[in-house]
Amino acid sequence: MSQQDGKCFKPSFYIVFTVYHCCRITFKTNNTINKILTPKPPKLTSDKQYQQSGVYCVTFPDCRMKYIGQTGRPFHKRFQEHFHDFKYNIRKSKFATHLLDHNHSIGPINEVMNILHTSNKGRSLDTIERLHIFRQTRLQTQINDRNTGKPNAIFDVICSLDPSLSVSSTAIHPT
Ligand SMILES: [Zn+2]
């Protein structure tokens, strides 16, 4: 390596070193600092899928547990509301409450939110939401509510046809 190469390499090494250590500090800090440094949800005016409404699933990056929800407004608006509640310690829904109780972080919408079904608000949306909560309850990966997955014979049949649900899960939220 020439001296010039060495000079070129050194600053970038220090940048990487500094970024690495900043990231570590960010990751290890407690709730308050962690929340301040949590990335804001990106503006998604160009991402058409999040401008629709329907049923969504958010997977929490720290524990891989899932929150199922529905909205009659754009998905990105609903996500911003969840994020707002988390940021300002508002425990209106299980979403923010779970993040706050377990000192979790949350990622940007395109990394954590999966759209399960798109539709306008209505009774069919309620049913589809309940089915997905039922499904995640079987997998023991939902944080909506332990009592939300009530017995349902039709959902049982639907889930019995889903091979990914045939083996009972032993997933337990890390304490
Ligand atoms: Zn969790």
Q: Which residues surround ligand 1, an ion (CB under 5 A)?
A: 63, 65, 102
Residue 111, classed as helix, strand or coil, is helix
Segment 87-132, tens digit of pLDDT: 999 998 899 999 999 999 999 999 999 999 998 888 888 889 998 9
CA 102 / ligand 1 centre spacing (Å): 6
pLDDT tens across 20-78, in order? 444 444 444 455 555 545 445 545 445 789 999 999 999 999 999 999 999 999 999 99
* Cα 1 to averaged position of ligand 1 atoms, centre (Å): 48
Exposure string of 112-144, with b = 16+ CB inside 10 Å and e = fewer, is bbeebbeeeeeeebeebbbbbbbbbbbeebbbb
Task: Delimit the domains of the chain by residue range.
Answer: 3-37, 48-165
Please give the CATH superfamily to which domain 48-165 belongs.
GIY-YIG endonuclease (3.40.1440.10)
How many A from CA of 4 to the centre of ligand 1?
Answer: 49
